[in-house]
Amino acid sequence: MAAKMPSRLRISQFAHIDHIDLELGDLTVLVGPQGSGKSIALQLFKLGHDKYEVVSALRDAAEAFADPSRFLDLYLGRGMGNGLRADSAIEVDGRPVDLDRIAKTRKSSDSGRVFYIPAQRALLLVDGYPSPFKRLTKDTPAVARLFSETLFKFFGDRSTGALFPVERELKSDYRDVIGEAVYHGGQVGIDEVDGRYRLSLTFDDDTALPFMAWTAGQREFTPLLFGLYHLMPPRSKTKVEGIDWVVIEEPEMGLHPRALSVVLLLVMELLWRGYRVIISTHATLVLDVVFTLRTLGERTKRAPASLFEAFGIRKYPATQRVLDAALEHSYKTFLLDFENNRVVSKDISALDPSSSDPAEAEWGGLTGFSSSFNRVLLSD
pLDDT tens string 123-168: 999 888 999 999 998 889 999 999 999 999 998 877 667 899 998 8
How far apart, in whole angstroms, are the C-alpha atoms of residue 341 and residue 339? 5
Q: What is the pLDDT along the chain (380 residues), one digit of tens a residue?
A: 555 778 999 999 999 999 999 999 999 999 999 999 999 999 999 999 999 999 999 999 999 999 999 999 999 999 999 999 999 999 999 999 999 999 999 999 989 999 999 999 999 998 889 999 999 988 899 999 999 999 999 988 776 678 999 988 888 999 999 999 999 999 999 888 777 888 999 998 888 898 999 999 999 999 999 999 999 987 778 999 999 999 999 999 999 999 999 999 999 999 999 999 999 999 999 999 999 999 999 999 999 999 999 999 999 999 999 999 999 999 999 999 999 999 999 999 999 999 999 999 998 888 866 666 666 656 65
Contact partners, residue 16, CB within 8 Å, separation at least 6 = 35, 37, 83, 341, 342, 343
The Cα-based distances of 60 to 108, 133, 134, 137, 275 in angstroms read: 10, 9, 8, 14, 28
| C-alpha R_g of the chain | 21
**Virtual CA dihedral for 149, 152, 158, 163, nearest 10 degrees?**
100
Rounded distance between C-alpha atoms, residue 296 and residue 354, angstroms: 18
Domain spans in the chain, listed from the N-terminal domain onward: 7-148+235-349
Residue 251 near residue 261, CB atoms below 8 Å:
no
Assigned CATH for 7-148+235-349: 3.40.50
Give, rounded to a whole angstrom, the gap between the first and last alpha carbons of the chain: 52
Cβ atoms of 11 and 44 closer than 8 Å: yes
Q: Over the stretch 267-277, which tens digit does the pLDDT of each residue have?
A: 999 999 999 99
pTM: 0.94
